[in-house]
Amino acid sequence: MSESKDRLNWCLESAKRMRKIKPSDNLSKEHIEKAKHNLKAADYNVQGHFDDWAVSQSYYAMYHALLAILFKKGFESKNHECTISTVEFLIEAKEINLDMEDLSFIRTTEQMTTKDAKSLREEFQYGTKTDVNKILLTELLQKSKAIVEKVELILSEI
Q: Which residues contact 96 (CB under 8 A, 6 or more apart)?
A: 69, 73, 87, 90, 154, 158
CATH fit for domain 3-15+22-157, picks 3.20.20.70, 3.40.920.10, 1.10.8.350, 1.20.120.330: 1.20.120.330
Per-domain boundaries in the chain:
3-15+22-157
Cα–Cα dist 45/57, whole Å? 9
Annotate 5-53 with DSSP letters as a single string.
HHHHHHHHT-TTTEEE----HHHHHHHHHHHHHHHHHHHHHHHTT-HHH
Q: What is the full per-residue pLDDT of the chain (158 aa) written as tens digits?
A: 588 889 999 999 998 999 999 999 999 999 999 999 999 999 999 999 998 889 889 999 999 999 999 999 999 999 988 999 999 999 999 999 999 988 888 875 433 444 555 556 556 555 566 577 788 889 889 999 999 999 999 999 98
